[in-house]
């Protein structure tokens, strides 16, 4: 079943066109990787879904509802959680305070407490250190914290912008193992942006390659990283 459907959306920043009638669908329970060179429009795509930027044309449907133009908090409440690029951890707040920020507009305190316990069950390391300042965590631990925070709203889909950025490969392995476990145990859908296709090839799933604000190539991640088409599309060979 299609959970998220992006149809021909365009986004501009002033005169610069960051997305040019881009179309992508994400199926329930799958892992979709969005890869592509710097400036391709990957982060803008996530921001458009999250409601942080508004497309000038096109449709975005999430879980049956039209969401383009809606406010970020409304979209979050419908089950879309985004982990932005650069892991925004509030270093001066404790780990638990950081997690509680992910509860958002949810009024029900009991539900928030249950969500917190669930996140601690996934990340015991965060529970052990819940009163420590988040600023003392390593990069990998901070990535786990922001994923935990995104889980606090009990999303259907988590979109993560470049989770491996700045992390050692071994730490990235741990982050991905956790994401896949969450996907399988909770029926979460994953939309993961990574500049390089390497991780998509290792993890498997479906992959979309973006270039110049459009989808240049789409297919099975493991198959695509083996072939030449990916490299050609990534660097734009054969276009001119």
Ligand X SMILES: Nc1ncnc2c1ncn2[C@@H]1O[C@H](COP(=O)(O)OP(=O)(O)O)[C@@H](O)[C@H]1O
| Residues of this chain that bind ligand X (CB under 6 A) | 13, 16, 18, 36, 38-44
The reply to whether 172 sits near Mg ion by the rule CB under 5 A is: no
- Which of residues 40 and 207 has its CB atom nearest to ligand X in the complex? 40
In the complex, the smallest distance separating the C-beta of residue 158 from ligand X, rounded to whole angstroms, is 17
Q: What are phi and psi of 143, to 5 degrees?
A: -65, -40
d(CA 230, CA 225): 6
Distance from chain centroid for Cα 35: 12
Q: For residues 54-73, which are near Mg ion according to CB under 5 A?
A: none
Residues 6+ apart with CB under 8 A from 209: 35, 36, 197, 215, 216, 217, 218, 224, 230, 233, 234
Contacts with Mg ion, 187-206, as mask; x by CB under 5 A: --------------------
Alpha-carbon separation of residue 214 from 20, 41, 58, 68, 115 (angstroms)? 6, 8, 13, 18, 37
Binding test (CB under 5 A) with Mg ion, winner from 10, 31, 43, 142: 43
Q: Which runs of consecutive H residues, i.e. helices, occur in 42-168?
A: 42-50, 72-77, 95-100, 109-122, 124-128, 139-151
Find the shortest distance in angstroms from Cβ 44 to ligand X: 3
Q: How far is the CB of 42 from Mg ion (least distance, A)?
A: 5
Task: With contacts defined by CB under 5 A, name the span among 35-43, 90-98, 144-152, 201-209 that binds Mg ion.
Answer: 35-43
| Minimum gap (Å) between residue 178 Cβ and Mg ion | 22
Question: If binding is defined by CB under 5 A, does position 164 make contact with Mg ion?
Answer: no
């Amino acid at each position: 079943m299609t959970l998220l459907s992006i149809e021909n959306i365009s986004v501009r920043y002033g005169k610069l066109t960051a997305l040019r009638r881009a179309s992508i669908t994400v199926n329930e329970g799958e892992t979709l990787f969005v890869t592509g060179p710097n400036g391709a429009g990957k982060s803008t795509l996530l921001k458009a879904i999250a409601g942080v930027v508004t497309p000038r044309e096109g449709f975005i449907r999430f879980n049956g509802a039209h969401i383009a133009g809606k406010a970020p908090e409304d979209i979050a409440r419908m089950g879309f959680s985004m982990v932005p690029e650069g892991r925004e951890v509030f270093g001066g707040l404790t780990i638990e305070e950081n997690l509680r920020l992910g509860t958002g507009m949810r009024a029900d305190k009991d539900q928030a407490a249950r969500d917190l316990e669930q996140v601690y069950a996934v990340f015991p390391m965060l529970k052990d250190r819940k009163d420590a300042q988040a600023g003392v965590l390593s990069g990998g631990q901070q990535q786990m914290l922001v994923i935990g925070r995104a889980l606090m709203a009990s999303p259907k889909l988590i979109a993560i912008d470049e989770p491996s950025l700045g992390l050692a490969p071994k730490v990235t392995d741990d982050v991905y193992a956790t994401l896949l476990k969450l996907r399988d145990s909770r029926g979460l859908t994953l939309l993961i942006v990574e500049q390089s296709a390497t991780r998509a090839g290792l993890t498997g799933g479906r992959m979309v390659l973006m270039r110049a604000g459009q989808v240049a190539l789409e297919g099975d991640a493991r198959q695509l990283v083996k072939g030449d088409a990916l490299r050609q599309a990534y660097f734009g060979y054969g276009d001119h």
